Amino acid sequence: MISFNKPYLTGNEIEYIKDAVSRGKISGNGYYTNLCQNFFQDKYNFRKCLLTTSCTDALEMAAILADIKVGDEVIMPSYTFVSTANAFILRGAKIIFIDSRPDHPGMDESQIESVISIRTKVIVPVHYAGVACDMDTIMELATKYNLVVIEDAAQAIDSFYTGKDGVKRALGSIGHFAAFSFHETKNIISGEGGMLVINDGRFTDRAEIIWEKGTNRSAFFRGEVDKYGWVDVGSSFLPSELNAAFLWAQLEKLENIQNRRKEIWNFYFDELSHWCKTHDLRLSSIPEYATNNAHMFYIVCKNTKQRKKILNHLKSSDILAVFHYLSLHKSKFYKAKYTGKELPFSDYYSDCLIRIPFYYELEKNELQFIISCLKSSVN
Ligand SMILES: *Cc1c(COP(=O)(O)O)cnc(C)c1O
């Protein structure tokens, strides 16, 4: 049986967890948390990083920091994970869903301006498959209409965007905020885990307070205040040192992990390109301005029938491929509330996209087996 995902351990995870225990402080915001946060800040030019217990939590923190109130409008793609929307729904926002691009499941930036209203507060670009949204367009709209941009960078670790100015920037360093995930299905993992990036200096102090249950505990530990107390709203968003220790073992091997994943991605791409062209199937297309961080490998079928046929064929060969994201505007929870227009490309990716097995430890013979099963499923 070839599973869809298998969490990869670099080898030092348990050792660092043991070390965290022996340091005598296993709650959050300690030695390993700092190592991880500094690593990200230095490597990707993120202004301030706070580890969180998930990307979902990081998005919820961003929604609080952006001061989302009942009736505020938040623009995002319909083709995304539920947490992208839930974080804002929890604060009473109205979600304005945008269609996907014809050439890519990411949101169609050209449709954003037409849905901006006086109630719009936030745009959430989701870097689907780690491929950058057109951030110049999005940031220009944010400036023009005074909006906050929260990048859902859950899948986008170690991926980049080159803007019109020719500067290559890490995804997560461009918006006012960004949220990353270290869930076991992502490139870099800690079981459940995430991170909020705060790039706008206006929000950094408050972010720390919300992270620490609404107290100024972090400032207290730095010696900036002589006692700590309740100063704002907040919650318990920080992970324990055990999670951070695990994450640190992953970050030490980030380059190695990324190289292997790119190798696998390129192997799939080279082997499947011709077959796809001749069978009405599409592979990922990566815009000039984006890099590929090898988060996932997907194929877009010509219709649901073809997808079903391929998935069944793979299953009968003990290969687990999956699809995901029923358009959120058509979900059980949201469809009665949805008053916008049809989103045909979001529906198209919901109906036609397949993700094939993708993880560090996939062996060459397994890759070849998957490829040959795919090719024999449609002829
Ligand atoms: C995985 C994912 C999330 C949620 O991440 P968690 O860490 O599981 O909360 C949010 N958005 C997108 C686009 C994702 O892929």
What is the C-alpha separation between 106 and 83, in angstroms, rounded? Answer: 16
The DSSP annotation for 176-221 comes to SEEEEE--TTSSS--SS-EEEEE-SGGGHHHHHHHHBTTB-HHHHH
Is the pTM value of this prediction over 0.95? Answer: yes
Cβ of 171 closer than 6 Å to ligand 1, yes or no, is: no
Domain 13-251 belongs in CATH node 1.10.510.10: no
Going from the C-alpha of 177 to that of each of 174, 181, 200, 213, 301, the distances in angstroms are 8, 14, 7, 19, 34
Which burial class, exposed, middle or buried, applies to 366 when counting CB atoms under 10 A from its CB (0-12, 13-18, 19+)?
middle
pLDDT tens digit string along 221-237?
Answer: 889 988 889 999 999 99
DSSP code string of 315-340: HHTTB--B-----GGGSTTTTTT--S
What confidence score (pLDDT) does residue 51 get? 98
Q: Which of 88, 107, 155 to mutate to test the pocket of ligand 1 (most atoms within 8 A of CB)?
A: 155
Q: Say if residue 314's pLDDT is above 90.
A: yes
Condensed to tens digits (0 to 9), the pLDDT of residues 71-116 reads 999 999 999 999 999 999 999 999 999 999 999 999 999 999 999 9
Quote the CA–CA distance of 346 and 331 in Å, as a whole number.
12
pLDDT in tens, 192-219: 999 999 999 999 999 999 999 999 998 9
Amino acid at 230: W
Rounded Cα–Cα distance for residues 320 and 135 (Å) = 34
Handedness of CA 305, 101, 330, 157 (dihedral sign): positive
Do the Cβ atoms of 175 and 18 come closer than 8 Å?
Answer: no
84 Cβ closer than 6 Å to some ligand 1 atom? yes
Measured from the Cα of 182, ligand 1's closest atom is 7
Chain segment 137-192, per-residue pLDDT in tens:
999 999 999 999 999 999 999 999 999 999 999 999 999 999 999 999 999 999 99
Question: What is the maximal distance between C-alpha atoms in the chain?
Answer: 72
SS3 (DSSP) at 273 = helix
Q: How many angstroms separate the CA atoms of 215 and 228, rounded?
A: 7
Cβ of 108 less than 6 Å from ligand 1: no
What is the residue extent of each domain of the chain? 13-251, 254-377
Residue of 177, 181, 298, 346 to mutate, ligand 1, most atoms within 8 A of C-beta: 181
Choose which CATH entry (3.30.750.200, 1.20.1250.20, 3.90.1150.10, 3.40.30.10) describes domain 254-377.
3.90.1150.10
Task: Answer with the residue of higher pLDDT: 39 or 325.
Answer: 39
Ligand 1 centroid to residue 183 C-alpha, Å? 7
Say whether 254-377 and 13-251 share the same fold.
no
Q: Is the CB of 54 under 6 A from ligand 1?
A: yes
> Residue 379 pLDDT more than 80?
no
- Please write the tens of the pLDDT for every residue from 49-78: 999 999 999 999 999 999 999 999 999 999
CA 79 to chain centre: 13
